[in-house]
């Protein structure tokens, strides 16, 4: 019988990442199908004429001067023409085989505009074999996203695919970090060196599903396709690369890696003045993506991302002041784009409390409070949890069998649903059965709520002194904070630690997690009760019924052939 989990918990657990559910070849096949369906610029597409207008996506950016029109005439991948207009730049370009004709108004082609124009017709500008090779080795996670349709909640599946940089043969664009997402099997967004796009409002064009709304850029603009029609019979002059009036030098943009960018960096132009920082790490990395014009000047820059956000302003100034020798290809100056990074090191202001890093608090809290991180010998832990439903209070079971950090099994049951994760050596396993299996995966996260060490980014977190039940605590938090320092209950995540490093409270996914009834188990201070509160009301209670040392289980007890799983982006450490 279906347990009928309360709506608030159902909304949350279906928003939790559920891990990889398909192998590399499976996801590669899905990506190939989605890309082929959504790409106009490929062999076999009917010749087309496209018109689009664009403007900033958000009212706050209305004065950014990012509005205009894009028009494309396309006969084949080697014969096409575009007209790209903005208030500050206009390019008319014709390509016919190896011949190109350009007329530009303005000396710099904004990268955000170039990427938007490409995104309209070519969501991932990589050769398909290169893309699929990257996808096969990528990290993949599935999300079940709740949507309300005709008053009922249903769920869409989103597959997020992320790949890291590689040193394989090829250019910087092919070798750079990239990502894409499929929503119910259809392309949702993409990004990588020299490309980015978000896609929606798909309509049929000769068997292809083409997005009529396309977004692009860190300062986001939205393009609306107003015309997509057959090209028809056009005059030969439309693709005439011998027409008079072409510029003597064309404008092109190359994607380079950091090593090649730095070859042209002028000595003495790399100057950064790091401010004292009252919290967060004092040393680390900061990076950005820049676009450098044909004279060697930085013209566009993504807001810097740092291991400590406090240095972002100084990094912004330093990156913008960098000067480069012009980049040449065939003796002709070109624009270039790529990633730059620097190391920062600074100090605390006088008379400011010196906190540890967020990672230190998390690792210490895990070791003190979680048997799987602090136990010295095998154990079995059993718990029950209670959740209120429309059918009354339902009871579920949880069991954790632990030999070592590489041999363990976690299981939970409620009604006719069962969820299991285990590890045996380097292999991970995952089994989900029944309608409430994903809810059971949330139980795992609530029992061990501290973020996994390999999925947290230090720069996301801030640290301050706080109180829990009038006792002093260190609060490690991220997300939206009000003008008086209050945490936004829906848009923040926080963990409070006592002076000895014990986790005393957590706030995640709109829920407050309150461990209590602390008892020692060896060197671990185990919470025998965990209350989960939503809007001040008890939504779920987890009670540890027993934990005891045991003889080591056999390796076979942790192996589930046919349910192999590649761990990626799970919220908890295990």
From the list 91, 50, 87, 49, the residue with the least C-alpha distance to 68 is 87
- The mean pLDDT of 58-68, rounded to a whole number, is 94
pLDDT-derived band at 357, boundaries 50, 70, 90: confident
Torsion (CA) 142, 148, 153, 159 in degrees, nearest 10: -10
**Confidence at residue 12, expressed as pLDDT on a 0 to 100 scale:** 46
- The mean pLDDT of 190-218, rounded to a whole number, is 96
Residue 479 bridge partners (DSSP): 492
From the list 215, 190, 193, 167, the residue with the least C-alpha distance to 302 is 193
Segment of 150-164, 384-398, 447-461, 504-518 carrying the highest mean pLDDT: 504-518
From the list 370, 406, 376, 425, the residue with the least C-alpha distance to 549 is 376
pLDDT-derived band at 565, boundaries 50, 70, 90: confident
Kind and range of the H or E run holding 261: helix 258-262
**What is the CA 231 to chain-centroid distance, rounded?**
38
**Confidence at residue 359, expressed as pLDDT on a 0 to 100 scale:** 92
Q: What is the DSSP letter of 323?
A: B
**Confidence at residue 21, expressed as pLDDT on a 0 to 100 scale:** 44
167 vs 422, higher pLDDT: 422
pLDDT-derived band at 8, boundaries 50, 70, 90: very low
**Confidence at residue 313, expressed as pLDDT on a 0 to 100 scale:** 95
**Confidence at residue 129, expressed as pLDDT on a 0 to 100 scale:** 94
447 vs 157, higher pLDDT: 447
pLDDT-derived band at 568, boundaries 50, 70, 90: low
- What is the phi/psi pair of residue 233, to 5°? -85, 115
**Confidence at residue 16, expressed as pLDDT on a 0 to 100 scale:** 43
**Confidence at residue 25, expressed as pLDDT on a 0 to 100 scale:** 67
In this model, does residue 293 exceed pLDDT 50? yes
In this model, does residue 324 exceed pLDDT 50? yes
| Lookup result for tokens 């299996």 | 437
**Confidence at residue 481, expressed as pLDDT on a 0 to 100 scale:** 80
Kind and range of the H or E run holding 204: strand 195-205
pLDDT-derived band at 14, boundaries 50, 70, 90: very low
**Confidence at residue 9, expressed as pLDDT on a 0 to 100 scale:** 54
Helix locations, 293-370, DSSP H: 312-320, 358-369
**Confidence at residue 7, expressed as pLDDT on a 0 to 100 scale:** 47
- The mean pLDDT of 469-497, rounded to a whole number, is 89
Q: Which domains does the chain have, with CATH numbers?
A: 7-239 (2.50.20), 253-345 (3.30.2420.10), 358-565 (2.50.20.10)
**Confidence at residue 569, expressed as pLDDT on a 0 to 100 scale:** 59
From the list 76, 68, 67, the residue with the least C-alpha distance to 96 is 76
> Which sign does the torsion angle of CA 331, 335, 337, 341 carry?
positive
Instruction: Read off the pLDDT of residues 530-548 as tens digits, 9 standing for 90 and up.
Output: 999 998 999 999 999 999 9
- The mean pLDDT of 353-368, rounded to a whole number, is 91
Give CA–CA dist 296/324, Å, rounded: 4
Give CA–CA dist 346/276, Å, rounded: 6
Report the chain's mean pLDDT, rounded to a whole number: 90
Instruction: Read off the pLDDT of residues 66-125 as tens digits, 9 standing for 90 and up.
Output: 999 999 999 999 999 999 999 999 999 999 999 999 999 999 999 999 999 999 999 999
pLDDT-derived band at 18, boundaries 50, 70, 90: very low
Bridge-based pairing of strands 524-534 and 283-292 is: unpaired
Residue 215 bridge partners (DSSP): 198, 222
pLDDT-derived band at 31, boundaries 50, 70, 90: very high
Instruction: Read off the pLDDT of residues 252-287 as tens digits, 9 standing for 90 and up.
Output: 999 999 999 999 999 999 999 999 988 778 899 999
Helix locations, 39-153, DSSP H: 111-121, 128-136
pTM: 0.74
**Confidence at residue 24, expressed as pLDDT on a 0 to 100 scale:** 58
**Confidence at residue 11, expressed as pLDDT on a 0 to 100 scale:** 42
In this model, does residue 33 exceed pLDDT 60? yes
**Confidence at residue 473, expressed as pLDDT on a 0 to 100 scale:** 96
């Amino acid at each position: 019988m279906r347990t009928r989990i309360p709506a608030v918990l159902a909304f949350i657990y279906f928003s939790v990442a559920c891990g990889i559910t398909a192998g590399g070849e499976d996801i590669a096949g899905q990506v190939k199908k989605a890309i082929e369906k959504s790409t106009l610029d490929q062999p076999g597409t009917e010749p087309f004429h496209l018109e689009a207008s664009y403007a900033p996506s958000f009212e706050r950016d209305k004065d950014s001067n990012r509005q205009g029109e894009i028009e494309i005439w396309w006969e084949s991948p080697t014969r096409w023409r575009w007209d790209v207009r903005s208030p500050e730049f206009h390019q008319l370009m014709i390509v016919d085989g190896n011949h190109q004709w350009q007329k530009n108004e303005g000396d710099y082609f904004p990268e955000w505009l170039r990427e938007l124009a490409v995104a309209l017709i070519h969501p991932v500008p990589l050769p398909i074999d290169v893309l699929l090779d990257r996808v096969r080795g990528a990290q993949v996670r599935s999300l079940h996203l709740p949507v309300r349709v005709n008053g009922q909640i249903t769920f869409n599946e989103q597959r997020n695919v992320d790949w890291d940089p590689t040193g394989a043969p090829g250019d910087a664009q092919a070798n750079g970090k990239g990502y894409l997402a499929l929503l119910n099997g259809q392309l949702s967004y993409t990004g990588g060196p020299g490309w980015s796009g978000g896609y929606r409002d798909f309509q049929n064009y000769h068997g292809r599903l083409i997005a009529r709304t396309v977004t692009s850029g860190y300062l986001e603009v939205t393009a609306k396709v107003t015309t997509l029609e057959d090209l028809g019979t056009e005059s030969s002059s439309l693709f005439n690369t011998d027409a008079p009036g072409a510029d003597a030098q064309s404008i092109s943009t190359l994607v380079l890696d950091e090593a090649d960018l730095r070859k042209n960096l002028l000595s003495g132009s790399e100057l950064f003045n790091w401010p004292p920082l009252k919290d967060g790490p004092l040393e680390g990395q900061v990076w950005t993506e820049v676009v450098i014009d044909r004279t060697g000047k930085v013209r566009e820059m993504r807001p810097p991302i740092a291991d400590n956000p406090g240095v972002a302003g100084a990094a912004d100034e330093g990156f913008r002041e960098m000067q480069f020798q012009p980049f040449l290809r065939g003796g002709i100056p070109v624009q270039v784009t790529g990633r730059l990074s620097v190391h920062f090191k600074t100090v605390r202001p006088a008379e400011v409390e010196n906190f540890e890093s967020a990672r230190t608090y998390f690792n210490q809290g895990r070791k003190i409070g979680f048997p799987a991180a602090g136990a010295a010998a095998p154990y079995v832990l059993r718990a029950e949890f209670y959740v209120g439903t429309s059918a009354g209070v339902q009871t579920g079971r949880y069991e954790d069998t632990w030999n070592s950090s590489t041999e363990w099994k976690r299981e939970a049951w409620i009604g006719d649903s069962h969820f299991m994760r285990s590890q045996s050596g380097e292999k991970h396993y995952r089994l989900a059965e029944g309608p409430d299996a994903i809810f059971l995966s949330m139980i795992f996260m609530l029992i061990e709520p501290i973020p996994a060490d390999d999925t947290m980014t230090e720069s996301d977190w801030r640290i301050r002194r706080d109180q829990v039940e009038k006792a002093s605590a260190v609060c490690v938090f991220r997300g939206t904070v009000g003008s008086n320092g209050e945490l936004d209950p829906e848009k923040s995540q926080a963990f409070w630690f006592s002076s000895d490093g014990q986790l005393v409270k957590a706030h995640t996914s709109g829920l407050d997690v309150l461990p209590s009834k602390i008892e020692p188990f060896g060197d671990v201070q185990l919470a025998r009760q965990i209350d989960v509160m939503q809007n001040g009301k008890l939504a779920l209670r987890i009670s540890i019924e027993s934990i005891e040392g045991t003889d080591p289980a056999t390796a076979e007890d942790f192996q589930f052939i046919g349910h192999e799983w590649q761990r990626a982006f799970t919220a908890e450490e295990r």
